[in-house]
């Protein structure tokens, strides 16, 4: 009887689901009971995903284009972080009259938590296929489920928090290894297409295990299946190549932008580290380890798996010496598990930044789609699952292969410690991921903060302009990522149905980015984005009281009509023609200043480098090494501004050029070395030329300032710089250059 229960697959699967569900309810009962009013994330990418999902279902007319941000352009849904396929299912049902859209948050929250139940089920099936008893398979599946680093994604990247992805992929590969069949290949291909819709990274994260697995099958096809590897080729195409191509073609067909970045920021900064994978950083028994790691890079496999990996390496070396390399590779009696282990190790090395960290950074220029990975540290996910499956399998083999009590005791302690690690991983998550936003939950808008919603007809408006303005996602310009108005703007957009002209997306079009940023730079060369605005409909301008606004932003407020106040929020009406008026008034004001200074006494001291003697009348230089392009000695101490024009504001990666400001004393000893970036100090642009301006303090008369630049991310090209001006910060410098009138390094543009 006991033996039949111990090997009852169906009973084990049911028990796994029941126990996993009960444990998740114990930890997350508030989240489940209040599913539609709770957010796992307190802000950041998580709230952005919630906002995008709700707006898309409620207001977008297209299934594949998102209008909630980046007004007036919108964005492809595949670059929004929305849970595309699940969101569109809810949207489709709504249009059929089966409307659960008001339960969207609850549906997404429950489904995300249930993904961990599915994860435990497929881990159980994997262990069962490996020949482990039911009770041990249940225990092992629960340990891994509650230890997985994907729990950390619930605080931000929801799409990467679906824990069932890797267990299902491993299980399907295992079943195919046991008995190849087209049904399994088609199922695997459908699975790849679906998870790509959650996040395209999954293609690579699962693909790294799949590639190693396929290569091994090709090499050993005759030995395993008594057939040529060519017979397996259709399966491999169906499993991953075809669904990946279909997804890429499908998503590209709904993407109108052709100027997205080729190299998102974060490749190297977000790699994982050895210590964050194998050491208990931040855990009670690891407090003596004073090493900190970023949230995106932590993928702790647990103490037991870390020790088993060390022991495996020792045994591998020993067997290699005694029995040769081929026998050493047989780290277990399960061939599939050995191959999977190799794939996991390769995934780990990629997550650590290898081979790029071995002085081969230039390889990234030839890495193709791999450069699109913002955070390769996520390759630690497949390693985590493989390592823990292997470790628990090895523990069981040691248990049944040894009759010594002390070994049994050690294995029992190891299992208890693994449970302890899993508990440590999950214990604080419920509190950390319990966030309520009453302003959003107030669907009837009864709260005082929401009373303003009832007082206006929002169909008369065309968009929301939040201040301080934020724009994150182009990978070339980062503007106010910590703006205090981000969440308020999400809530206002959802309640009014008006899209935001701000951006918190991914890989946004560079041209569209600049067109929107022009509104928040100094008025200079017109606003091309207004061509896509409705000429008569106003914009709802909103800003949080006591927020620090830039002069151009304050100018927008000054040209707006006050509407309402709601708590700390202020609301204004801004007409498109007021934006053009700002442009014209600024030009006339500049002309007036220029005229008065030209006709007055001598101006302040200044230093101008126009590169007139250079062949093209400007500076040109390489970008891959730090190059000095300006140096000047000042007559007095004080605060100075240095500005220059560079060509490349609209070129991918050019704005990410580093700017270095060095200060030297009269003895030419450098006493300060500061770094910033071109995009951070850009104040205006004219076409592809942008003006960079920086304020610096010089301590003594005779001090020297030197400017240098460096860009390590471009594959090649030449940097062009023109008109470097150093002047006292309070000074106004007017001069003529080839018939053009310049004031503080800005060409004077006067409207007709």
Q: What is the pLDDT of residue 579?
A: 85
Give the Cα-Cα-Cα angle 79, 80, 81 (nearest 5 degrees). Answer: 105
pLDDT at position 209 is: 94
Domains of the chain: 438-584 (no CATH), 607-747 (2.60.120)
Beta-bridge partner residues of 643: 693, 725
Give me 175's structure tokens: 């079943």
Closest CA to 379 of 405, 411, 345, 410: 345
Residue 215 burial by Cβ neighbours in a 10 Å radius (0-12, 13-18, 19+): middle
Quote the radius of gyration of the chain (alpha carbons, Å). Answer: 30
Residue 93 CB burial class (10 angstroms; 0-12, 13-18, ≥19): middle
Low-confidence residues of the chain: pLDDT under 70: 1-7, 226-227, 292-297, 359-371, 566, 584, 586-603, 739, 749-752
Structural tokens at position 462:
């065309």
| pLDDT on residue 325 | 75
Distance CA 247, CA 111 (A): 23
In the chain, the N- to C-terminal Cα span, in Å, equals 95
Rounded to the nearest 10 degrees, how much is the dihedral formed by the CA atoms of 446, 451, 454, 456?
A: -170
Which position has the token pair 């397996």?
A: 232
The angle, 0 to 180 degrees and rounded to 10, between the axes of the packed helices 380-401 and 134-147 is 150
- The vertex-476 CA angle with 473 and 480, nearest 5°, equals 60
Can you tell me the distance from the alpha carbon of 496 to that of 461, in angstroms, rounded to the nearest whole number?
Answer: 9
* Per-residue pLDDT, 598: 54
Give the pLDDT confidence score for residue 629 in this predicted structure: 94
Residue 22 φ/ψ region, left for φ over 0, alpha for ψ in the -120 to 50 degree band, beta for the rest: alpha
User: Where are the alpha helices (H) located in 599-713, listed in sequence order?
Assistant: 678-681
Nearest residue to 716 via CA among 411, 365, 413: 365
Which DSSP letter does residue 294 get? -
Cα(341)–Cα(386) distance, integer angstroms: 6
- Cis peptide leading into residue 206 (ω within 30°): no
What is the number of residues in the chain? 752
Q: Residue for token digits 């950074």? A: 361
Give the CB-side neighbour count of residue 293, counting CA atoms within 13 A: 23
Tell me how far apart the alpha carbons of residues 538 and 540 are, in angstroms, rounded to a whole number: 7
- Give the DSSP letter of residue 500: B
pLDDT tens per residue across span 519-569: 999 988 788 999 999 999 999 999 988 889 999 999 999 999 999 876 788
Cα 645 from Cα 127, distance rounded (Å)? 63
367 contacts 263 by C-beta, under 8 angstroms: no
CB atoms within 10 A of CB 558: 10
Give the HSE-up count for residue 29: Cα atoms under 13 Å, Cβ half-sphere.
4
Peptide linkage before 72 cis (omega within 30 of 0):
yes
Which helix (H) or strand (E) is 635 found in, with range?
A: none
Copy the structure tokens of residue 572: 């204004």
Adjacent-strand bridge partners of 698? 638
- The whole-angstrom distance between residue 305's C-alpha and the CA centroid of its chain comes to 29
Q: Take residue 244 and report the two structure tokens written for it.
A: 């990946």
Phi, psi of 746 (to 5 degrees): -110, 130
**Closest listed residue to residue 631, CA positions, set 677, 698, 688, 676:** 698
Give the bridge partners for 725, in sequence order: 608, 643
Give residue-wise pLDDT tens across range 692-737: 999 999 999 999 999 999 998 887 789 999 999 999 998 888 887 7
Yes or no: say if 193 and 247 are a contact pair by the CB < 8 Å rule.
yes
Parallel, antiparallel or unpaired: strands 704-710 and 658-664: antiparallel
């Amino acid at each position: 009887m006991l033996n039949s229960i111990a090997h009852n697959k169906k009973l084990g699967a049911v028990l796994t689901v029941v126990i996993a569900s009960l444990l998740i309810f114990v930890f997350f009962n508030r989240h489940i009971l209040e599913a539609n009013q709770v957010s796992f994330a307190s802000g950041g990418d998580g709230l952005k995903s919630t906002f995008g999902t709700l707006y898309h279902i409620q207001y977008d007319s297209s299934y594949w284009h998102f209008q909630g941000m980046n007004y007036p352009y919108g964005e492809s849904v595949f670059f929004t972080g929305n849970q595309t396929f699940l969101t569109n299912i809810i949207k489709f049902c709504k249009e059929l009259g089966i409307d659960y859209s008001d339960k969207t948050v609850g549906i997404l929250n429950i489904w995300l938590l249930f993904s961990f139940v599915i994860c435990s089920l497929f881990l159980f099936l994997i262990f069962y296929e490996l020949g482990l008893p039911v009770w041990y398979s249940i225990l092992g599946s629960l340990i891994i489920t509650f230890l997985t680093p994907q729990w950390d994604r619930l605080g931000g990247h929801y799409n990467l928090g679906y824990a069932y992805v890797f267990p299902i992929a491993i299980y399907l590969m295992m079943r195919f290894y046991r008995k190849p069949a087209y049904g399994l290949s088609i199922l695997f291909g459908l699975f790849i297409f679906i998870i790509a819709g959650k996040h395209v990274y999954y293609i690579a994260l699962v693909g790294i295990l799949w590639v190693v697995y396929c290569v091994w099958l090709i090499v050993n096809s005759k030995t395993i299946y008594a057939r040529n590897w060519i017979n397996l080729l259709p399966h491999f195409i169906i499993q991953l190549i075809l669904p990946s191509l279909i997804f890429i073609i499908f998503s590209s067909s709904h993407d109108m932008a052709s100027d997205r970045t080729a190299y998102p920021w974060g490749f190297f900064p977000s790699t994982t580290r050895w210590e964050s994978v194998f050491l208990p950083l931040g855990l009670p028994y690891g407090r003596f380890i004073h090493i900190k790691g970023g949230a995106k890079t932590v993928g702790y496999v647990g103490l037991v798996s870390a020790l088993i990996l060390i022991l495996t390496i020792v045994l591998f070396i020993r067997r290699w010496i005694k029995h040769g390399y081929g026998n050493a590779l047989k780290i277990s009696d399960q061939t599939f598990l050995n191959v999977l282990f190799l794939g996991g190790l390769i995934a780990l090395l990629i997550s650590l930044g290898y081979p790029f960290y071995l002085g081969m950074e230039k390889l990234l220029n030839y890495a193709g789609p791999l450069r699109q990975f913002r955070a390769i540290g996520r390759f630690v996910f497949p390693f985590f699952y493989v390592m823990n499956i292997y470790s628990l399998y090895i523990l069981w083999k040691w248990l049944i292969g040894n009759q010594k009590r002390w070994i049994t005791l050690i294995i029992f302690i190891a299992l208890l410690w693994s449970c302890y690690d899993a508990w440590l991983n999950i214990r604080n998550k419920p509190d950390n991921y319990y966030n309520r936003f009453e302003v959003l939950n107030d669907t009837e808008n009864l709260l005082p903060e929401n009373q303003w919603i009832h007082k206006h007809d929002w169909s008369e408006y065309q968009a929301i302009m939040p201040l301080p303005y934020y724009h994150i996602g182009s990978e070339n310009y980062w503007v106010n990522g910590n703006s205090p108005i981000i969440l308020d703007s999400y809530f206002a957009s959802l309640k009014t149905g008006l899209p935001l002209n701000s951006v918190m997306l991914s890989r946004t079009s560079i041209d569209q980015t600049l067109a929107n940023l022009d509104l928040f730079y100094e008025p200079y060369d017109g606003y091309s984005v207004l061509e896509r605005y409705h000429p008569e409909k106003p914009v709802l301008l909103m800003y949080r009281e006591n927020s620090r606004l830039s002069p151009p932003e304050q100018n927008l407020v000054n040209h707006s009509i006050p509407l309402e106040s709601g708590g700390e929020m202020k609301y204004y009406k801004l007409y498109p023609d007021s934006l053009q008026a700002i442009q014209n008034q600024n030009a006339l004001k500049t002309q007036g200043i220029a005229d008065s200074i030209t006709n007055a006494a001598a101006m302040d001291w200044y230093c101008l480098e126009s590169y007139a003697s250079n062949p093209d009348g400007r500076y040109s230089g390489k970008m891959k090494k730090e190059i000095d392009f300006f140096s000047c000695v000042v007559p007095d101490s004080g605060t100075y501004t240095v500005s220059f024009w560079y060509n490349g504001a609209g070129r991918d990666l050019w704005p990410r050029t580093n700017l270095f400001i060095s200060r030297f004393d009269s003895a030419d000893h450098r006493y300060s070395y500061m770094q910033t970036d071109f995009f951070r100090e850009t104040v205006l642009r004219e076409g592809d030329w942008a003006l960079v301006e920086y304020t610096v303090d010089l301590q003594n008369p005779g001090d020297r300032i030197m400017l240098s630049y460096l860009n390590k991310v471009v594959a090649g090209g030449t940097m062009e710089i023109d008109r470097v001006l150093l002047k006292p910060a309070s000074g106004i410098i007017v001069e003529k250059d080839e018939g053009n009138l310049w004031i503080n390094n800005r060409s004077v543009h006067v409207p007709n």
